[in-house]
Amino acid sequence: MENTTHFGFKQVATNDKQSLVRDVFNSVAGKYDLMNDILSFGTHRLWKHYAITSGNIKMGDKVLDIAGGTGDLTMEFTRQVGDNGQVILSDINTTMLHEGRKKLTNKGIFGVEFIQLNAQYLPFKNNTFDCVSIAFGLRNVTNQDQALEEMYRILKPSGCLLILEFSTTNSVLLKKIYDFYSFKIIPKLGDIIANDKTSYQYLAESIRKHPNQKTLKNMVLNAGFDFCEYHNLSSGIVALHKGVKV
């Protein structure tokens, strides 16, 4: 029997998910930043700022931004590490990497390395990075446990992992509002603005399939991390998990 996994609310062959996710982001890449601003009412910038400031990144550090997309986190990491540090913007999707390179270049940010990679197979030696981040990308990874183990492996001792991702709110009222917005409004806006209803339907569904805060915390610890804590943002609609490798 063929192994299957979820792609939104659908069950698909495990080997097919990566290409299906790639098709989604090929489609949305050109309007990705615009749609983020519209769909989150700009709040994604506050969520990302909180994640960036939680990394305790110092001048000279080496940082890997996984699923870095259009480079919002990479931009700030570059300023934090200075000329003697290094930031790598990585993504599995070439179209998103192109958008990230174009955006950073237009903002006069150079020295960033761009690498296309799969989070499940990180092409780096053990104990390489001071910080590894993944923002709104983990839910698209086929084997999340394997990816977390890889992130642990490439972090230096005392290095930190930052996972910024949509999560689960405990507010009954907010959940009703959020579900209505996610399934009734977001796909329609995706259709009107990005001419792509299907991709935004998937993105809404993928959030619901992502592990909740406590489950993800346990996954981080099971991957080898000695410490993990999470902080809810916007009443748990988004959560930042921070893992530390001692």
Q: Summarize the annotated binding site for S-adenosyl-L-methionine as residue ranges.
A: 70, 91, 118-119
H or E element, residue 145:
helix 144-154
CA nearest neighbour of 216 among 205, 234, 229? 229
**Distance separating alpha carbons of residues 22 and 195, to the nearest angstrom:** 17
Give, in order, the Cα–Cα distances in Å from 112 to each of 80, 148, 160, 189: 13, 23, 20, 33
**Distance separating alpha carbons of residues 162 and 49, to the nearest angstrom:** 12
The residue whose two tokens read 């991390």 is 225
Binding positions are 70, 91, 118-119
Burial of 19 (0-12, 13-18, 19+ CB in 10 A): exposed
Q: By the 8 A CB rule, do 142 and 17 touch?
A: yes
Q: By the 8 A CB rule, do 190 and 196 touch?
A: yes
Write the single-letter amino acid at 227: F
**Distance separating alpha carbons of residues 186 and 188, to the nearest angstrom:** 5
